[in-house]
Amino acid sequence: MTVQTMRALEVPSKAGPEAISLVERNVPHPGPREVLIRVGAAGINFADVMQSRGLYPGGPEPPYLAGLEAAGEIVEVGDEVEGWYVGDRVMGVGGGAFAEYVSWPARALLSVPTDWSTTQAAAFPVQWLTAHACLRTVGRLREGESVLIHAAAGGVGSAAVRLAKHFGAKVFATASTAEKLEYARGLGADVTINYREQEFADAVLNETADRGVDLILEMVGGKTFKENLRCVRPFGRVVVFGSASAKAAGFHNVGLVFQPIEISGYHLTVMMKRRPDLFRQQLDEVGQLIDEGVITPDEPRAYALDEATSVLLALENRETLGKLVLVP
């Protein structure tokens, strides 16, 4: 490596995307079990917004380099790394992704399929692994069941709609605009609900003759969490994978006796680190879906690093559609 410095996006405080700045930092050196990656593109997630405002539980304390997922090319390999080589195209999850270089553990990386672009690869790890795990690994979705997917025009939501239809489910999708609902229908959603115009729980119950849905992917929290409990079928499942509202909501243990439902949580890196057995099982199925062409990320909308503030603010205000990436 002859390059010594790089551009990166730093979050200096908890003031939100407005405070993010483009800085120059030293290129990191890979540890014995790490590889150094030249970033070709980095995926943008709602968690980036929440972390920048200090609202993400367990998130980094400022100052820190932003970004959670990226794809690129290996340019240096740690002494103890096996199976990865300089020149390999990889994608993965880790901190500091909004930069020209990242040094990540080799175990956190996946190979990029030969027919995927780098921007497609950057749109894969968080979006598709989260959607798949919530539906299958944790949610155990089966053919013929029904599922409610919120923010269905967003990154995880759009992937979940496509996967749920592949698995043979009836898909209920919520979004905030007619354009987003049309997008969700194009992905395969059967029932679309504008949550700004009607109570989504009422719409679900009306559509199902008060039966409710078998599975709900919950990532909002607060009132939305409580409304989800109102429209999940008895002995159905709710998988919690986020809290976009940053508002907590509880459920009394005795309530589960009289409203028997299953509530599970999911976090990608927690599964990777603490249940590698489940993660390996998931990767086996995901790999097969990639080989079959079921999982092929759409080309995301790409922006330059210096556009990060405006893009993250648009994401926070629910003004975006589909997956977004930054290109150094």
CATH of the domain at 9: 3.90.180.10
Shared-domain flag, residues 221 and 234? yes
Shared-domain flag, residues 323 and 249? no
Q: What letter would DSSP give residue 137?
A: I
Shared-domain flag, residues 139 and 72? no
63 domain-assigned:
yes
Comparing CA positions, the residue from 245, 234, 133, 238 lying closest to residue 195 is: 245
285 domain-assigned:
no
Radius of gyration over alpha carbons of the chain, in Å?
20
Shared-domain flag, residues 131 and 265? yes
Last residue of a domain, one of 249, 269, 289: 269
CA angle at residue 81 from 79 to 84, to 5 degrees? 125
Shared-domain flag, residues 226 and 200? yes
Bridge partners of residue 89, in order along the sequence: 73
282 domain-assigned:
no
278 domain-assigned:
no
pTM (two decimals): 0.92
- What sign has the CA pseudo-torsion 85, 295, 270, 63? positive
Indicate the burial class of 32 (C-beta count within 10 angstroms; 0-12, 13-18, 19 or more): exposed
Shared-domain flag, residues 252 and 302? no
283 domain-assigned:
no
Per-residue pLDDT of the chain (328 residues), as tens digits, is 678 999 999 999 999 999 999 999 999 999 999 999 999 999 999 999 999 999 998 899 999 999 999 999 999 999 999 999 999 999 999 999 999 999 999 988 999 999 999 999 999 999 999 999 999 999 999 999 999 999 999 999 999 999 999 999 999 999 999 999 999 999 999 999 999 999 999 999 999 999 999 999 999 889 999 999 999 999 999 999 988 887 888 777 888 888 899 999 999 999 999 999 999 999 999 999 999 999 999 999 999 999 999 999 999 998 998 899 999 9
Angle, to 10 degrees, between the axis of helix 200-207 and the axis of helix 222-230?
Answer: 20
User: Maximum Cα–Cα distance for the chain, whole Å?
Assistant: 66
- What sign has the CA pseudo-torsion 158, 161, 165, 168? positive
- What sign has the CA pseudo-torsion 58, 102, 278, 165? positive
Instruction: Please give the residue range of the domain that contains residue 220.
Output: 127-269
Shared-domain flag, residues 111 and 189? no
Asked whether 174 and 147 are in contact (CB, 8 A), the reply is no
Number of neighbours of residue 140 by Cβ within 10 angstroms: 14
- What sign has the CA pseudo-torsion 96, 101, 107, 112? positive
Shared-domain flag, residues 111 and 33? yes
Bridge partners of residue 267, in order along the sequence: none
Shared-domain flag, residues 200 and 319? no
Q: How many domains does the chain have?
A: 2
Comparing CA positions, the residue from 128, 108, 124, 117 lying closest to residue 37 is: 108
